[in-house]
Amino acid sequence: YEMIRKAILEEKWSDIPGLLTPDGSLEKWVGDRASISSEGKMSIDGRELPNSLKERINSMITKGEDPAPFFRFWERLLKNPSWRSVEQLWPFLANSGIPITKDGCFLAYKGVRHDLKDQHSGTVSNVPGVINELPRNQISDDPNVACHFGFHVGALSYARGFAARVVVCKVDPSDVVCIPYD
């Protein structure tokens, strides 16, 4: 409704027909790569979005907000080779209130020592601007073990619970290896 109203107020008459259907509105954001089924299922490149992500996107479109970061997030997430990470990451982020960036990454929190080194080994620098990387096959993907091999980020309340300081980390969804059950 808001987008139709805006088109009328701005006298963008040619935009209105495309805004009258969910597919038309969706096409505005992601082109012909997106579709909505008769059952209301939203897909991009043939891959159905989780209901909670679809609802978030629909809510943003309804409010006239730009949902593009969430489409970018989904595109990045689909590059992740782990089925479990693809299935579990969005529900975790949505439940934790972790923000999505304009480029489709997300901002999570890491508890660190006073010197900004990691809590466990004290050897990994987390100074702003440092990029930490590990080969994927050197990171534990066991969701039953909360603190195992690899780099860890999480919700703010979790990171604050055991650390002297907290840093904000930008994470590409395609790089997430595991979402622990805890």
Encode pLDDT of 117-163 as tens digits: 988 889 999 999 999 999 999 888 888 887 777 788 988 888 888 78
- Res 49: pLDDT: 85
CB 112 within 8 A of CB 125: no
pLDDT at 5 over 80: no
Both structure tokens of 72:
């970018």
Exposed / middle / buried, residue 172 (Cβ in 10 Å: 0-12, 13-18, 19+): middle
- Res 148: pLDDT: 76
Both structure tokens of 35:
């579709």
Model pTM greater than 0.85? no
Position with higher pLDDT, 135 vs 27: 135
Exposed / middle / buried, residue 47 (Cβ in 10 Å: 0-12, 13-18, 19+): exposed
